[in-house]
Every structure is written in C-alpha cells, then in structure tokens.
Chains A and B, each alone.
Chain A
Amino acid sequence: METIQDIQGEIIEDFGMFDDWMQKYEYLIDLGKELAPIDKKHKTEDNLIKGCQSRVWLHAEHIDGKIIYTADSDAIMTKGIIAILISVLSGQTPASITDAKLDFINEIGLKEQLSPTRANGLVSMIKQMKIYALAYNN
C-alpha cells in the first residue's frame, strides 16, 4: 500500500507536466469523468456536503481497517477534485487520514486556481473526509 505522502508526490509530479491552466483543467475534467460512480443509495441528503456551489455527495465505509470513500457531484470539475482527494485518502487507515497533511493542494496550484467559493468547497470536502476518519478512529 502506497502511503498518503507517496501518492501526493505522484500527483505533484503529474501536475508539474502542465504548462497552463487549460491543460490542468482538462486533466481535472478527465478525472471527473472517470470517477467511479457512487452507489445510488448513498446519494442522500445526509451525505451532501455544505459549502460548495455545486452539490457534492460523500460516502465513507470502514472495510478491513481502511476507509473507502465514494463520492459524486453535479459539476464535473468538482468531481475531478474529488477524484484526486479520493486517490490520496481512500484505502488508507483512519489514523493516517486524520493526521494527513495535504500539502499537494498548494503545490499543484489548486487552491489559487480555484475561486473562493470553490476553495471553500474543497475545504469542506477535506473536512468531511477527516470527520469520517475520526469517527472510525474511535
């Protein structure tokens, strides 16, 4: 199993290849399109994350000591962001998720690429992922 740190490193490397915003956005759009679908029964009001302009559903399950996230959004770029977060955090242990420092967000320029509302959405998504991990950690 790769660690959160390893995966972040790979993402930073991936994004390092892009010269401009358009390539970055196209990559995010592709990731969004490829995001594994969430089970319909988890697209509930309870799983909706507040603080995003687009709607985001996030579901977490605890399997063999690891947390598996699935998610969806009605906006494709938001889905792209979720896909990245899931690739970093899904399949990790609750403890490593709650402790994770997600430095890659700044390094790949995601935060400054994102409008304030979107950045808030990103913050809310990360917070919700950590809250789930915390719940399973206890």
Chain B
Amino acid sequence: MLNISEIRKQFPILSRKVNKTDLVYFDNGATTQKPQTVIDAVNNYYKDENSNVHRGVHFLSGLATDKFEETRDAIQQFIGAKHKHEIIFTKGTTDAINLVANGFRSLLNKGDEVIISELEHHSNIVPWQMCCDFTGATLKVIPLLDDGSLDMITFKKLLSENTKLVSVAHVSNALGTINPIEEIISNAHKVGAKVMIDGAQAASHIPLDMQKLGADLYCFSAHKMYGPTGVGVLYGTDKMLNALPPYQGGGEMIKEVSFEKTTYACLPHKFEAGTPNIAGVIAFKNAIEFITGLGVENIAKYEDELLQYATAEILKIEGVKIYGTAKHKSGIISFNIEGLHPYDIGMIVDKMGVAIRTGHHCTQPIMNKFNVPGTARISVAVYNTKEEIDVCINAINKAKMMLS
C-alpha cells in the first residue's frame, strides 16, 4: 500500500494555489511534477558540482562525470538492459526517435517498408515520413479498432520480408491503450524486422525488462517520469546501435579526427555529441529512485485504481463519450461531452484549479479516426487521489451547467 499523502508532501508544487484554489493536476501525460529530491539535485549540481563531463582531469569534472554515469547505471538497472553502453542519453523521446529515423536513412532502400500505427504521437509519425521520403521506403499504418486498440490481424498481414522496422507506442498518450508490444515484437522478428517502442507514456507506469521484452530499440522522456525536462533515453541493443550510423557530429562522439578520416567513438558516446544536459541527467537518477522506491508494480496498481474510479465517475456525466475503451489501459481518459467543445470545458475547469489537457494531443490521425476536433484528457500520476478526481468531476459538471 502506498502512502499517498506522504508521497504528495514530496512534491512542493502540489500545495500551490491556482486561480485561488488548490491545484488539481491531471495533465501528467504531458509532463509530471517533480519531487523535491529531483529539484534539489538540479540545484546542487549548479551550486556544488558544475563542470563538463568526460573531459577534464580536474576534480569537479571527475565528480560530474561520475554522477552522470551513475544515472546511466541506474537506467540500465531500471529497464533491465544487458549492457550499460546500450543506454544513450538524448533530449527526450522525440530526439531519440529522430536519432533512429535518421540512422535508418542509411539502412533502408526503395521497396523496404516501415510500419507504424494509427495511434502514434506525431513524433513517432513525422520522423518516419521524413525517413521514407528520403529513402523511397514505404510507410504502412496499423489501423485502430473502435475501442482504441490496434487491429492486430491487419498488422500481421502488413508484415512481410519487406518490413524492415516496426515502430509503435507502448502506451497511447491520447487513448491510454496499452499495446501488445510483446506480440508485435515476436511477429516482427519472425520476418526479420527490427522493432522500436516509444515508451514515453509507459516508463513510469509499467515495469520494464528490456532483456525479456526483446525490443531492438526503446525510448522515453525523463520529464514524464518525475524527472527534469530536456533529458531522455534511447535504449538499443548493442547490435542495433552498432548498426546505426552516428546522428550528430561533434565533440565527444569521435575517436580520432583528421581532415582525411574521422573515426567514431564507441557506444554510448557515438550518439552523444556535444555537452549534454548534465544537471538534468544527474537529477534523473533521483526520479528513478523515487519510482523504484515506491515500486513500479505498486504505482501501476494504484494508478489502475484511479483509472477505474475516474472512468466510472466520468461515465455518470450525461452525454459523455470516452475515446479509448480497450481492455488494457493505462491511466489516461480521453472524453467529450455531447454538444460541448473540449476547449470550453478545459477553460472553465482551469478556473477551478483543475489542469486537464484539451486538443488533439499531437495525435491528429486518432482525432480523424474518431471524427472529433479534439478531446478533453485526464491523465493520472501516483500522487493523484480519488478526492482530486471528485473535484475534477465536479468542475466538469459545473462547466457543463454553464455551457448548456
């Protein structure tokens, strides 16, 4: 059993007021709030440890480098990666996908196929469109069923020896669907395709074990898992990452540079050109410790309770429709109320201190599929409570009254 009121005390922002009322934060899918330990780690870095990593011989540089690398160790453990050098630090999920999509420009040819799905975030669509435009490869899309789950029958038909890569989300940010990625991976591997998983909405909600999962590539963002913005992780198997060419050129990613020939550094440095977000990476370890301290399984179980409760309460609102009703769902609820624009709802509940997301959630193909301009979205984190859900539902009802 998690002690939620103790957990809440670790997040200073949760006790602030918004529009003169208590903040009720249900936009965790966009970014989560940060515990004091993460905030302190950023602060301490600049106060006490600031120095560039992997370069200097002096004391501070060594200290910063050690702490930076400790986060890599922590991530390796957290996701069950076989090797430390399979953990690449990026700016975030978007950056990680772009790194991979850029690398695949030299691995794909005309006639090759890349498969994504209809529920992807734009950041797992556009880089592949760009990659396919460049290489002449074809982009195929796994369609969505009406409940917001992937049409796995069609997926299996899309697979062929032409399929070189399948890139899908672990959890949909707009619908909450948890995709059957184990099944996707094993089917894709049968035809020799590589698999990349966008884990942005999964990493702090679902236990991960890369060696068991068998994905070739997996990525996520620190800021959606109680960590700082501007930091993310690309995990890739040693074999996959060695097959990809470097992304950006610059300092740190080279072995030797001359005008005749430059050779690249080994993993992970090959993909980490330039000075990284050192403070962010260091503080990310505190976020991981926050999560593992509670236990991802415990977080998942509690968030599922919140999901079930919120779903039941929302369904009591007259004229409501929930988008994404798959059997396996994470703590995300997208909905609309008949005759009301999600935007009007969001504006009014905001005045009552309730932060929800409205709009297309960077998933316009999903909105087109359901034929709506956008939805209102509640997404939970471990610090949310049933009482907050009640406040949110009251606010929504109030908005409905004002707007009808």
Contact = CB atoms under 8 A, between A and B. Distances in A.
B403 interface: yes
Interface string A26-62: 1001000000000000000000000001110000000
A25 interface: yes
Contacts of A78: 343-344
Contacts of A29: 344, 402-403
Interface in A84-138: 114-115, 117-118
A117 B350 CA distance: 13
A54 B348 contact: no
A118 B347 contact: yes
B403 A76 contact: yes
Nearest to A52: B343
A78 B340 CA distance: 12
Contacts, number: 42
A77 B342 CA distance: 11
Interface in B30-49: none
A115 B402 contact: no
B115 to A, nearest CB: 31
Contacts of A76: 340-341, 344, 403
B374 to A, nearest CB: 7
B351 A75 contact: no
Interface of B: 19, 340-341, 343-344, 346-348, 350-351, 358-359, 373-374, 402-403
A26 B403 CA distance: 8
Contact of B402 (A25, A53, A74, A118): A25
B10 to A, nearest CB: 28
15 contacts: A21-B19, A21-B351, A22-B402, A25-B351, A29-B344, A53-B358, A54-B343, A75-B343, A76-B340, A76-B341, A77-B343, A77-B344, A114-B347, A115-B346, A115-B347
- Judged by DSSP, the binding face of A is helix
Nearest to B350: A115
Contacts of A55: 373
B347 A77 contact: yes
Residue among A21, A74, A75 with max Cβ neighbours from chain B (10 Å)? A75
A29 B346 CA distance: 14
Contacts of A54: 341, 343-344, 373
Contacts of B341: 54, 74-76
Contacts of B350: 115
A136 to B, nearest CB: 31
B344 A22 contact: no
B359 A53 contact: yes
A21 B351 CA distance: 7
A96 to B, nearest CB: 31
Contacts of B359: 53, 117
